Amino acid sequence: MLHALTATTARITSRLHLAFASTPACRFPYTRAMSSLATVHTDKAPAAIGPYSQAVKANGMVYCSGQIPIDAATGELKLGSIADQTELVLSNLREVLKAAGSDMNQVVKTTVLLKDMNDFQAMNEVYGKAFGDHRPARAAYQVARLPKDVSVEIEAIAVVPE
């Protein structure tokens, strides 16, 4: 009985999909054609330190991997104050966004990872200056450890204007 019900449900779903897929206003989200994915690379931000891209562009958006305070020119970590680290992280993020055809004003969401939530205020001051009047959605978390034992990592999702 369960098999027959499952088969019937599948047939109905398939017919509904076919009936509505040709109507633009009624398309199911999964019927939209996906654009090709494009990886983003710039020498003005640190190279990925693992099997991932600096960012990936898809469907008018750019998904930036987490940036840490590595100087792109030297490849060296900047382990100064949390403010100094955050400035470099946001500078790296700005360069990745630029390489993707976007910028800080197009960011819709960031995720901030901190080794110590006591650093939040100092990070937040630098973050606020970097974004100016633009206020993307944001989440911030304290984590046990970050790559290369840095104190801050920030990732972002942004619109790529046409």
pLDDT digits 0-9 by tens, 14-29: 444 444 444 444 444 4
Q: What is the CATH number of the domain that holds 97?
A: 3.30.1330.40
Q: Establish if 13 belongs to a structural domain.
A: no
Q: Establish if 21 belongs to a structural domain.
A: no
Q: How far is CA 12 from the centre of its chain?
A: 37
Q: Establish if 29 belongs to a structural domain.
A: no
Q: Establish if 118 belongs to a structural domain.
A: yes
Per-residue pLDDT for the chain (162 aa), expressed as one digit of tens each? 444 444 444 444 444 444 444 444 444 444 445 568 999 999 999 999 899 999 999 999 999 999 999 999 999 999 899 999 999 999 999 999 999 999 999 999 999 999 999 999 999 999 999 999 999 999 999 999 999 999 999 999 999 998
Residues with Cβ within 8 Å of residue 143, at least 6 apart in sequence: 113, 114, 115
- Domain containing residue 129: 37-159
Q: Establish if 19 belongs to a structural domain.
A: no
Q: Establish if 44 belongs to a structural domain.
A: yes
Question: Which parts of the chain fold into alpha helices (H)?
Answer: 2-21, 82-99, 120-131
For 136, the token pair is 């993307």
Q: Establish if 53 belongs to a structural domain.
A: yes
What pLDDT, on the 0 to 100 scale, is given for residue 162?
85
Q: Establish if 17 belongs to a structural domain.
A: no
How many independent structural domains does the chain possess? 1
Rounded to the nearest 10 degrees, what angle do helices 82-99 and 120-131 cross at? 40
